[in-house]
Amino acid sequence: MYRITQEIHFCYGHRLLNYSGKCRHLHGHNARVQIILEGADLDERGMLIDFSDIKAKLRTWIDDELDHRMILCKDDPVLEALKDTEEPFFVIDDNPTAENIARLIYNKAVDFEFPVVEVCLWETPNSQATYRG
Ligand X SMILES: Nc1nc2c(c(=O)[nH]1)N=C([C@H](O)[C@H](O)COP(=O)(O)OP(=O)(O)OP(=O)(O)O)CN2
> Using CB under 6 A as the criterion, which residues of the chain lie in contact with ligand X when the complex forms?
16, 21, 23, 97-99, 123-124, 126-127, 129
Among 68, 80, 87, 113, the one annotated catalytic: 68
Beta-sheet strand order (sheet of 2-14): 89-92, 69-73, 2-14, 27-39, 116-122, 128-132
CB of 125 to ligand X, least distance (A): 7
> Known catalytic residue: 123?
yes
Least separation in angstroms between residue 21's CB and ligand X is: 6
Is residue 68 part of the annotated active site? The answer reads: yes
CB of 24 to ligand X, least distance (A): 9
How much helix, strand and coil, in percent to the nearest 5, is found in the chain?
30, 35, 35
